[in-house]
Amino acid sequence: VPVFLFVAAPYIRRYVAGGRCKSTARLEGKVVIITGANTGIGKETARDLAQRGKVIIACRDIAKGEAAASEIRAETGNQQVIVKKLDLADTKSIREFAEKFLAEEKELHILINNAGVMLCPYSKTADGFEMHLGVNHLGHFLLTFLLLERLKQSAPARIVNVSSLAHHGGRIRFHDLHGEKSYNRGLAYCHSKLANVLFTRELARRLQGNAMGTKVTANALHPGSVYSELVRHSFVMTWLWKIFSFFLKTPCEGAQTSIYCAVAKELDSVTGQYFSDCQPAYVSPRGRDDETAKKLWSVSCELLGIQWD
């Protein structure tokens, strides 16, 4: 068996690595925002896109963000890698980030909603939302709402939502959105990733809604099972991740589909889709439920106190 593993190892690794983004598209004069780009696949997405254009790293931990940015600047020679404070667990911080961005930048071409939490013990955001739903869905929903006009003005533009295969295990529990009646941290993550898929679907439908369309696309993706800090809230998962790291994608491999959705020319007019390994992937029946998507949209607006028609 050890001999077999030794021989098979390169092939196993190649299979695990999955698809690679082969696009050489440049982003000169373009502006990209990536949330949570101080670590993991967000950082690797920023590293790649910084070789193409201007990147804004939007993250909660400014010190980690600056460390990542200076590493990327040194490696790419691009000084246009900027760190801005954004805490997706606090709508006040989201509004402040958007306000500053809109005052400083006249254009926005790519918004990558990448940041996420996973397997958190039960907790709530500053606004009283269950943490997974609040950060993974509602935080990005509000951020996209606040930046959408700038994306439309800069069109063609793209919105990329990092979801997960875990959406297959999710349900939108409208009767208990914040997990106050029953809570399971694994399922809470799945629910929030399903919300990402449904948000993408409804957003794409609305952006295409008028006769002309807006030339702003919205797509979601599964990055793969990635060896990253995302499982830090679970001792068991952290331990398992270490043991099976050989069978997990590296953050660089996990970033490929995000990069693909952000830059690939063949996706110029593709919207409302879900990708994995740089190709279209299967969406669960719940992720294709338009009625649930519409209801989630209106409930999200209600919770955030916004009107988004």
CB 152 within 8 A of CB 214: yes
Question: Are residues 221 and 276 in contact, defined by beta-carbon separation less than 8 angstroms?
Answer: yes
| Angle at alpha carbon of residue 261, lines to 258 and 263, rounded to 5° | 105
Peptide bond into 285 cis (omega under 30): no
Asked if 189 is an active-site residue, the reply is: yes
Q: Which two tokens stand for residue 8?
A: 């098979």
Q: Judge contact between 224 and 18, C-beta under 8 A.
A: yes
Strand order, beta sheet including 81-85: 81-85, 53-59, 27-35, 110-113, 157-162, 216-222, 274-276, 279-280
Beta-strand pair 279-280/81-85? unpaired
Question: 22 burial class (0-12, 13-18, 19+ CB within 10 angstroms)?
Answer: exposed
Cα–Cα distance for residue pair 255/40, rounded to 1 Å: 8
The catalytic residue among 183, 189, 260, 282 is: 189
| Residues identified as active-site | 189
